[in-house]
Amino acid sequence: MKCLRIMLPVVLISLSAMAFAQSDAEKSFDQMKTLAGTWEGPVVLDPPDPEMSGGDKPVHVSLRVTSKGNALVHEMQEAGTPLDATRYDHPVTMFYVDGDRLLLTHYCDAGNRPRMAGKVSPDGKKVEFDFIDLSGGNQHGHMYHALFTSVDANHHIEDWTYMMPGDKPMHARMDLRRTK
């Protein structure tokens, strides 16, 4: 009985520490939430897209924490275009924790919804997302990979890989500066 009285507090302290320990998914999500705000910067495509004249067209990105902190909304559009998703590209990506994974669902202008799982780098500066699966059609291709790199509080880089039909990757790199 004496052993039980000694062990019970030790077990309770251990359990409470485990309950408050943050999972890797939560740490990754917290890192992503630091990007909340509005951002602008050039986007460079590799290979270059002939439909995008001028090469380094600026992009506008908005990241907003929502749902009592349980989701992060990422909206992207060409800078200077009206907010009219019926006429202009305006993909939306949702980031959220599901169990022990940080997930994103990308609502693509191509009409599909790829899901990816993310993890933070050991130094905490990068969150990388790898493809899991795809809902919707794939005749126009789909988003396949994403990497978010925090340079500082007002500068981050987004690298997105789009898998074109025929499994040809197109890489977009956005060098973004905080505007708000």
pLDDT of 14 higher than 50: no
Residue 10 has pLDDT above 60, yes or no: no
Q: Identify the weakest region by mean pLDDT among 17-31, 90-104, 109-123.
A: 17-31
- What pLDDT is stored for residue 87 in this prediction? 65
Q: What is the pLDDT of residues 87-102, one digit of tens each?
A: 667 899 999 999 999 9
pLDDT (0 to 100) of residue 56: 59
Q: How confident is the model at residue 57 (pLDDT cuts 50, 70, 90)?
A: confident
Task: Tell me the pLDDT tens digit for each residue of 58-84.
Answer: 999 999 999 999 999 999 988 877 777
CATH number corresponding to 23-178 = 2.40.128.20
- Domain locations along the chain: 23-178
- Euclidean distance between CA atoms 106 and 142, whole angstroms: 9
